[in-house]
A and B are shown apart, each in its own frame.
Chain A
Amino acid sequence: DIVMTQSPDCLAVSLGERATINCKSSQNVLFTSNNKNYLAWYQQKPGQPPKLLISWASTRESGVPDRFSGSGSGTDFTLTISSMQVEDVAVYYCQQYYGIPPTFGQGTKLEIK
């Protein structure tokens, strides 16, 4: 199975500041035939299901604020929130869908400093 490792486990960021969450896969998730990274990011707030933010490593879902961006390729990926807002307090997960089974990172808890 592909192991997804996120860092840090917890992150506290001041309002208006940048938040950066990293995700590393144990195997390459870039499919060379279509040059796509099979990597997604989710946001989960308490009592709610995860919400898809980004697919294909960098494609933002419709309705997701543009302060959220994804980058990276191969085995190393980053979710960036350019300006932290109160409503961004949540746990964030990366997920690879290159291999079976699909696997998630352990989650990063984002709080306000």
Chain B
Amino acid sequence: QVQLQESGPGLVKPSQTLSLTCIVSGDPVTRGTYYWTWIRQPAGKGLEWIGRIHISGTTHYNSSLKSRLSISIDTSRNYFSLELTSVMAADTAVYFCAREGGYYDSWGQGVLVTVSS
């Protein structure tokens, strides 16, 4: 059974770079059936799709974040990562990683990231 676990700092200063990692166990990220995705949720609000990566190297990014966003994948360690530059208060949210076969059948528990000085 696949499991995903996010890791990264809970506090990031404005204008700095947010870096998160999603460790995948129970399923190789090299499986071509799936995309590996980041989704976030500000407190008390809905779900916002951030972007995704496929083992082929194909990435898709939310157009509102595209200029600041990079998603990568590490097949040797079976994880994928997110980097969001020049963060601001509006980037404060719970960040989820998920496995996507169109729909999201497996999710991490989420990590709260607060942007504050």
Query: Which residues of A does B touch, CB under 8 Å?
Result: 38, 40, 42, 48-52, 55, 61, 93, 95, 97, 100-107
Contact = CB atoms under 8 A, between A and B. Distances in A.
Given A93-B47, A101-B60, 16 more contacts: A38-B102, A49-B107, A50-B47, A50-B96, A50-B104, A55-B105, A61-B105, A95-B47, A95-B104, A101-B63, A103-B49, A104-B48, A104-B49, A106-B46, A107-B46, A107-B47
B116 interface: no
Contact of B49 (A49, A55, A101): A101
A52 B104 contact: yes
Contacts of B103: 40, 52, 55, 95, 97
A105 B47 CA distance: 8
Nearest to B109: A49
Contacts of A106: 46
Contacts, number: 49
Interface size class of B (residues with CB under 8 A): 10 to 19
A93 B45 CA distance: 12
B46 A93 contact: yes
SS of A interface (majority) = loop
Contacts of A93: 46-47
Contacts of B62: 101
Contacts of B98: 49
Contacts of A97: 100, 102-103
User: Which of A50, A61, A100 has the largest number of chain B CB atoms within 10 A?
Assistant: A50
Contacts of A49: 96, 98, 107-110
Interface in B81-114: 96, 98, 100, 102-105, 107-110
B49 A52 contact: no
